[in-house]
Amino acid sequence: MVEKMKLLHFAGPREDIDRVVKVYLNKYDIHFENAMTSLGNLKNVRPFVETNLYKEVAQKGAELKQYLEEGNPGTIVMRAMQAQVIIDEVYGQIGELRIRQDELQEKILKIKERMEEISPFIGLDFELSKFRDFRFIDYQFGRIRVADYHKLERYIFKNPYTLFYECNNDSQYVWGVYFAPHTHLLEVEAVYASFHFEDIEISEEFEETPRQVFEQAKERISEYRQELERLQRKTVELVKSREDEILSACSSLESYCRNFDIRKYAACTQAKDEEKEYYILYGWISAADADKLIQEIAGDDKIHWEEEEGDCSVNPPTKLKNSKILKPFEMFVEMYGLPAYNEMDPTLFVAITYTLMFGIMFGDVGQGACLLAGGFLLYRFKNIRLAGIVGVAGIWSVIFGFLYGSVFGFEELLPALWMKPMDNIMTTLMLAIGFGAALILLAMILNIINAVRAKEYGRLLFHQSGIAGLICYGFVVLCVLLFATGHEMPATVLIGAAVGVPLLAILMKEPLSRLLERERKVFPEGSKMMFLVEALVEGFDVVLSYATNTISFVRVGAFALSHAGMMGVVMTLAGMEQGTPNWLIVVLGNLLVAGLEGLIVGIQVLRLEYYEMFSRFYSGSGKPFISFNKRN
């Protein structure tokens, strides 16, 4: 059902809006409307524009909470100003510790960069400071690809003016340092360049051997990390010493920061003879919650409230309220569109008709029981709404499985309590069409109810799914039923009047609706002849839609036959006729049929719901109820 709503107006001093939201409005689900939409044409009314004063300090609080365990909201109730003081004070106390930690992190990063620089040459057992004392010899660190290094070795072997010392290697490169006298340096450099030797500059800060430099760097990193851990422990201890205050302040600030968004829905105004400014809020709330909220704020002199009565310029939002077993089926309603506020909630209708048709088309005791168990388990533990629908549909599958006498495709284990579809093919198809006609008539009745609720009397009387359509289609169905059962048909004049007059009213629904509403122009603008031609074409479409919509339900019986046929194929492949079936094929066949046919049947039933029934009585034009305190 669609929950009844009330529109409440709230007003009070501008500076009191945060308190009102925190103390009162946050306790209830309220759908706020933009107050400027209704009040924008009035003087002295403007949007409530203000900078979020709590955002920055709330971010600081979030940083402090990282040092604490999650789940504890704090026990102290405090206002925003008190919370800001606490957060700023603690944040300032740990500020120096965090600066020192950042400095240590930066030092560790630089040392790691130096370690990466020197690590390829760790095999060089020579103090780097002594390299800079050479007077007649030059040197260059670098790397060379393995393939080029093997070529370079042959050159070095023949050249007396260079020496290459290999320090490290892997599958791709060889790292090392080459030496050459000043007098032949240019010649040697050119040769190494021709072998794609890549120069690597080593910092002049390094004095000891590369290994010693590397080990010293590791020791310094270890010292810095110990110091960093000490500072971190000190920071945590400082924050934990005021844990309850911090968590309470964070909870308060997060609430104020989140509630600050209420301003985008509010308007601001000012009395003529006063400098004081006031906020105005408009919000939809369920009737039951509205009574509780009104009682709660009755004693607060700073809040003025009013209830909107009579017609409202803003359409109420739709909030569905159904029992737990119907909750999953709201998914199908939402997929089509929520009902308008004054429209009937079709959730119960969908729950009954969808699962009933699913059971008719997929009647099997064993497979239905699997759907029932699997669906309810997934819905219970994973809260998957589609699984809940499958679980309820499984109940009807089990029921019709007993009626058909089918268990996991075995047609002889149970006696059919009603009939076996494959033994009564034509009866099954005819019953499916009759069942569809009954559902179409039910959809027409629901359309009449919705038209009365919406006070759309033209739709009520002259729509193809209104009273005229119900009489026309219902009389045709009655005639077909009388003919099929061997009874006498009504008189031709009666048939003509019961079918022709309502059909004529459907063709002329536009001028008749205007006449009913006492409009001056009964016929639409344009040529009356063109209007009559369009009416005739529309009439042909109406008659054709009655026929096609009804025949469309033949798939309900067709899938009941299809299930029996597919399981018959599985049993034949498993060798059931020979008396010694292959149970692996039986199991796999059941899994395949249950998965494939279950999916197809589910889609086909949903198609029947939307196109053959929903389109007759349901608009789905409602806007969703979005609670302010449950928004993303």
Q: Which one-letter amino acid corresponds to residue 295?
A: Q
* Mean pLDDT value across residues 85-102: 86
Helix axes 365-382, 385-404, angle to 10 degrees: 160
Cα dist from 102 to 95, 217, 229, whole Å: 11, 19, 12
Average per-residue pLDDT in the chain? 87
Contact between 397 and 359 under an 8 Å Cβ cutoff? The reply is: yes
Read off the pLDDT of residues 490-534 as tens digits, 9 standing for 90 and up: 878 888 888 888 888 888 888 887 788 777 776 766 667 777 888
Predicted pLDDT at 557:
93
Residue 540 host element (H or E): helix 528-551
Strand partners, 11: 280, 304
Predicted pLDDT at 60:
84
Residue burial 472-498, b: 16+ Cβ < 10 Å; e: rest: bbbbbbebeeeeeeeeeeeeeeeeeeb
First to last CA, the chain: 25
Structure tokens at 300: 């607060």
Read off the pLDDT of residues 483-498 as tens digits, 9 standing for 90 and up: 888 888 887 888 888 8
Contact between 263 and 50 under an 8 Å Cβ cutoff? The reply is: yes
* Mean pLDDT value across residues 254-267: 81
Say how far apart CA 251 and CA 61 lie, in whole Å.
Answer: 9
Q: Nearest 5°: CA angle at 383, between 378 and 387?
A: 45
User: Order of strands across the sheet with 163-169?
Assistant: 163-169, 173-181, 137-145, 198-199
Residue 286 in this model has a pLDDT that exceeds 60: yes
Q: Which one-letter amino acid corresponds to residue 74?
A: G
DSSP state for residue 145 in the 8-state scheme: E
Q: Nearest 5°: CA angle at 447, between 444 and 451?
A: 140
Q: How many CB atoms lie within 10 A of CB 49?
A: 9
Read off the pLDDT of residues 22-45 as tens digits, 9 standing for 90 and up: 888 888 999 998 888 777 667 778
Q: Which residue has the tokens 């409230």?
A: 305
Structure tokens at 184: 């032949």
Contact between 58 and 251 under an 8 Å Cβ cutoff? The reply is: no
Read off the pLDDT of residues 247-259 as tens digits, 9 standing for 90 and up: 888 888 877 787 7
The dihedral through the CA atoms of 129, 134, 138, 144 has a sign that is: negative
Q: Give the model's confidence band at 246: pLDDT under 50 very low, under 70 low, under 90 confident, else very high.
A: confident
Q: What share of the chain is helix, strand, coil (3-state, %, to 5)?
A: 60, 10, 25
Residue 77 in this model has a pLDDT that exceeds 70: yes
Which SS3 state, helix, strand or coil, does residue 510 take? helix
Q: Give the model's confidence band at 540: pLDDT under 50 very low, under 70 low, under 90 confident, else very high.
A: confident
Predicted pLDDT at 71:
60
Predicted pLDDT at 40:
60
Cα dist from 116 to 104, 119, 206, 588, whole Å: 18, 5, 13, 59
Residue 79 in this model has a pLDDT that exceeds 60: yes
* Mean pLDDT value across residues 537-559: 90
Beta-strand relationship, 198-199 and 137-145: antiparallel
φ, ψ of residue 279 in degrees (nearest 5): -95, 155
Read off the pLDDT of residues 208-239 as tens digits, 9 standing for 90 and up: 888 888 888 889 999 999 999 898 888 888 88
Strand partners, 168: 175
Strand partners, 269: 45, 278
Contact between 624 and 337 under an 8 Å Cβ cutoff? The reply is: no
Residue 266 in this model has a pLDDT that exceeds 70: yes
Predicted pLDDT at 313:
66
Say how far apart CA 627 and CA 632 lie, in whole Å.
Answer: 10
Contact between 111 and 220 under an 8 Å Cβ cutoff? The reply is: yes
Strands of 120-262, DSSP E = 137-145, 163-169, 173-181, 198-199
Residue 18 in this model has a pLDDT that exceeds 80: yes
Contact between 240 and 228 under an 8 Å Cβ cutoff? The reply is: no
Residue 402 host element (H or E): helix 385-404
Predicted pLDDT at 629:
76
Q: Give the model's confidence band at 601: pLDDT under 50 very low, under 70 low, under 90 confident, else very high.
A: very high
Read off the pLDDT of residues 405-453 as tens digits, 9 standing for 90 and up: 999 988 888 888 999 998 899 999 999 999 999 999 999 999 999 999 8
Q: Give the model's confidence band at 116: pLDDT under 50 very low, under 70 low, under 90 confident, else very high.
A: confident
Read off the pLDDT of residues 567-599 as tens digits, 9 standing for 90 and up: 888 888 888 777 777 889 989 999 999 899 899
Say how far apart CA 553 and CA 561 lie, in whole Å.
Answer: 14
Read off the pLDDT of residues 350-399 as tens digits, 9 standing for 90 and up: 999 999 999 999 999 999 999 999 999 999 999 999 999 999 999 999 99
Say how far apart CA 273 and CA 287 lie, in whole Å.
Answer: 36
Q: How many CB atoms lie within 10 A of CB 311?
A: 5
Predicted pLDDT at 310:
53
Strand partners, 320: 2
Predicted pLDDT at 129:
85
The pTM (predicted TM-score) of the whole model is 0.73
Q: Give the model's confidence band at 631: pLDDT under 50 very low, under 70 low, under 90 confident, else very high.
A: low
Domains contained in the chain, CATH given: 5-41+266-307 (3.30.70.260), 49-113+219-261 (no CATH), 114-217 (3.30.70.2750), 327-617 (no CATH)
Beta-strand relationship, 137-145 and 173-181: antiparallel
Structure tokens at 158: 């023949």
* Mean pLDDT value across residues 290-299: 89
Predicted pLDDT at 244:
83
Cα 534 from chain centroid (whole Å) = 43
Q: Which residue has the tokens 């049929």?
A: 593
Range in 7-21, 260-274, 276-290, 316-330 with the lowest mean pLDDT: 260-274
Count of alpha carbons within 13 angstroms of residue 281, beta-carbon side: 26
Say how far apart CA 494 and CA 95 lie, in whole Å.
Answer: 93
